[in-house]
Amino acid sequence: MSALRDKLLAQIADQGPMGIDAYMRACLLDPEHGYYTTRASIGAEGDFTTAPEISQMFGELMGLALAQTWMDQGAPSTFLLAELGPGRGTLMADILRATRHVPGFHQSMRLLLVEASPRLREIQRAALPEVDLGWREDLSALPQHPLFLVANEFFDALPIRQFRRAEGETWQERQVEAGPEGLRAGFGPARSMPVLDYRLGDTNPGDIVELSPEAQGWAKAIGTHVARHGGVALLVDYGGWRSLGDTLQALYQKAPADPFQHPGEADLTAHVDFAELARAAMPALATRLETQGVFLEKLGITARAQALAKGLSGGALDAHVKAHRRLTHPEEMGTLFKILALTPPGQRPPPGLEPGITF
Ligand code: SAH
């Protein structure tokens, strides 16, 4: 029996049904029972694995893309190197190793990690022993230096709201209620939602769309800073351009599960709507949305994979070949995962990416 389920049922009995966003926030970050605060086990042995945990090549190529962009912008002598939601710290460790020999890069950087989970902060500390680390809860009051930022599978963990189009121009919000056997999803009353007016043109009654006010807040903070002070943000996640349909999903002990069954014990994520991020990040410019597979190929992952393969044999070589395929193949992560960069107006996109549309 989940302690968080009892806590949420008591809250619903007291205050009525809760939004999907409040439910996700509680499941992931409740100080006592949240999945990220108490258990999140990322990596080969954990509940879920991520690109940096699959192969060092992912972080190495992200590092080179950041360093190239830093040079393209005149190698500013002080800059912020930031990561949102660093998990086990593997991506940042690979970025730092890959950029070690870029002249001036390490001397100029100030490292900054945004992590909500005290447990994961400790793991990150241990993974990055040789650097000065500063953690933050958010991006407010950043020092006024160019910001070079990465986020991998961060935005998919942010709470979303879900709406179902009803008749006419009204919407019903999906909510979490008390059912006979615990928590279940239902829908609130139909009402007009001016914030969704722009979706009236591309949806029909019955369609579900998702919004993430929290994701918009992060994108706005990044976009404002990058447009004013320079830098770039590389955002990698699964999702697409404009949300359609219910994408909330739970992973419980490595297997897909009902998102309302194991609050606090399962990882909950939703597809990222990159159009929503690009719009919120203005006046920074968004590049064209690219698939992870094409982006990594353009940055030379095949040559890097061949170089690393020379030192391997037997099972290690097989694992390495599989990891390369997993990151790039369309039937694995290559197409589902996308990358979007946010750049200052007037700067060229990072290597591997093309200029995008403007709103
Ligand atoms: N980037 C890592 C981990 C992805 S898991 C990887 O690729 O392996 C999501 C990460 O985001 C975790 O570190 C989690 O604790 C953090 N996180 C989730 N919501 C957050 C929030 N609102 N504020 C700060 N960190 C958050």
pLDDT tens for 223-242 read: 999 999 999 999 999 999 99
Q: What's residue 202's pLDDT?
A: 93
Of 91, 78, 93, 86, the closest CA to residue 116 belongs to: 86
Mean pLDDT by 10 residues, the chain (359 residues): 91 97 97 89 84 98 98 98 97 98 97 94 94 92 97 98 96 96 95 93 96 97 98 97 95 94 96 96 97 98 97 96 97 96 96 86
- Specify the pTM: 0.96
Per residue in 7-64, pLDDT (tens digit) is: 999 999 999 999 999 999 999 999 999 999 888 778 877 888 999 999 999 999 999 9
Q: Is the CB of 120 under 6 A from ligand 1?
A: yes
Q: Is the CB of 59 under 6 A from ligand 1?
A: no
Q: Is the CB of 115 under 6 A from ligand 1?
A: yes
Q: Is the CB of 92 under 6 A from ligand 1?
A: no
Residue position matching structure tokens 């094409």:
294
Cα–ligand 1 centroid distance for 154 (angstroms): 5
CA separation, residue 162 to residues 135, 153, 264 (Å):
31, 20, 20
Per residue in 191-213, pLDDT (tens digit) is: 999 999 999 999 999 999 999 99
Cis previous bond, 17, omega within 30: no
How many other CB atoms are there within 10 angstroms of residue 159's CB atom? 21
Cα–ligand 1 centroid distance for 210 (angstroms): 20
Q: Is the CB of 85 under 6 A from ligand 1?
A: yes
Nearest atom (ligand 1) to Cα of 36: 15
Q: Which residues of 309-321 are buried (b: 16+ CB within 10 A; e: fewer)?
A: eeeeeeeeeeebe
